[in-house]
Chain A
Amino acid sequence: MIRLERVTKLFPGTPMPAVDQVSMEVPEGEICILLGPSGCGKTTTLKMVNRLIEPTSGDILIGDRNTADYDPVELRRTLGYVIQQIGLFPNKTIEDNICIVPDILGWDRNKSRARAAELLELVALDPGVFLKRYPKELSGGQQQRIGVLRAIAADPPVLLMDEPFGAIDPINRAVIQDEFLKMQANLKKTIMFVSHDIDEAVKMGDRIAIFRDGRLIQYDTPDSLLAHPADSFVSDFVGSDRTLKRLQLLKVSDAMMQDPPRVRADDTLKTAAALMEENGHSAVVMVGPRGRVRGFVSLKTAQENKGKVGEHSEALPTTIKLEENLRTAVSTMFRHDITWLACTNDDGFYKGYVTLRGITRLLAEAYRDE
Chain B
Amino acid sequence: MNNRSEATAFFRLWRTGLLVGIFALGAWAWAGGLLPTMLDLWDDITFLSRQHVTLVAISGGLAIAVGIPVGVALTRAPLRRYGDAFLQFLNIGATIPTLAVLALSMSLLGIGDRPAIFGLFIATLLPIVSNTLAGIRAVPPHLIEAAHGMGMSAGQILWQVELPNAMFVIYAGIRTALAVNVGTVPLAFLIGGGGLGELIFSGIALNEFAMMLAGAIPTALLAILVDFLMGQLQFWTIPRGVNPLR
* A contact set with B: CB distance below 8 Å: 50, 52, 73-79, 81, 83, 85-93, 100-101, 104, 134-136, 150-151, 160
B240:A81 contact, CB within 8 angstroms: no
> Residue B70 at the A interface, CB < 8 A?
no
Tally of B interface residues using CB under 8 Å: 22
Minimum CB–CB distance from A35 to chain B (whole Å) comes to 21
B141-178 to A contact mask, C-beta < 8 Å, 1/0: 01101111111110010001100110100000000000
Residue in B closest to A133 when the chains form the complex, CB atoms: B241
Of all A-B residue pairs in the complex, the 5 with the closest CB atoms, nearest first, are: A87-B146, A134-B241, A76-B151, A77-B151, A81-B149
Given known pairs A85-B142, A91-B164, the reply for A76 and B241 (CB within 8 Å) is no
A–B pairs, 22, beta carbons within 8 Å: A50-B149, A79-B151, A83-B142, A83-B145, A85-B140, A86-B142, A87-B142, A87-B143, A87-B147, A89-B146, A89-B147, A89-B161, A91-B164, A91-B167, A92-B164, A92-B241, A100-B150, A104-B152, A134-B239, A134-B241, A135-B241, A151-B150
Chain A CB within 8 A of B27 CB: no
Expressed in whole angstroms, the Cα–Cα distance for A88 and B165 within the complex equals 12
Beyond known contacts A90-B143, A91-B160, A91-B165: 15 more, CB 8 A cutoff: A50-B149, A52-B145, A75-B151, A78-B151, A79-B151, A87-B143, A87-B145, A89-B160, A91-B239, A100-B150, A100-B152, A104-B151, A104-B156, A150-B150, A160-B149
Q: Which residue of B142, B149, B165 is within 8 Å of A76 (Cβ)?
A: B149
Return chain A residues, CB-CB under 8 Å to B167: 91
CB-CB under 8 A from A52, the residues of chain B are 145, 148-149
Residues 94-141 of B contacting A (Cβ, < 8 Å): 140
- State whether A73 and B151 are in contact (beta carbons under 8 Å apart), knowing that A92-B239, A93-B241, A104-B156 are contacts in the complex: yes
A74 to B153: give the CA distance in the assembly, Å.
9
- Shortest Cβ distance from B164 into chain A, in angstroms? 4
A73 touches B142 (CB 8 A): no
CB contacts (< 8 Å) of B239 on chain A: these are 91-92, 134
Q: How far is the CA of A204 from the CA of B235 in the complex (A)?
A: 45
How far apart sit A100 and B146, CA to CA, in the bound complex (Å)?
11
Residue of B nearest to A91 (CB): B164
Determine the distance from Cα of A75 to Cα of B149 in the docked complex, in whole angstroms: 10
The residue among A78, A91, A135, A160 with the most chain B CB atoms within 10 A of its own CB is: A91
Q: Given A73-B151, A104-B151, A91–B242 Cβ distance below 8 Å?
A: yes
Which residues of B are found within 8 Å of A104, using beta-carbon distances? 150-152, 156
Other-chain contact of B242, A85, A90, A150 (Cβ < 8 Å): A90
Residues on A with beta carbons closer than 8 Å to the beta carbon of B242: 90-91
Can you name the residue of chain A whose Cβ is closest to the Cβ of B148? A52
B149 CB → nearest A CB, Å: 4
Distance, CA A85 to CA B139, complexed state (A)? 14
| Bound form: Cα–Cα A87–B145 in Å | 8
CB distance from B166 to the nearest CB of A (A): 10
Give the distance in Å from the alpha carbon of A7 to the alpha carbon of B151 in the complex.
Answer: 22
Cβ-defined contact, B241 with A81, below 8 A:
no
**Within the assembled complex, what's the spacing in Å between the Cα atoms of A85 and B148?**
14
A87–B150 CA distance with the chains assembled, in angstroms: 11
Q: Which residues of A contact B240 (CB under 8 A)?
A: 134
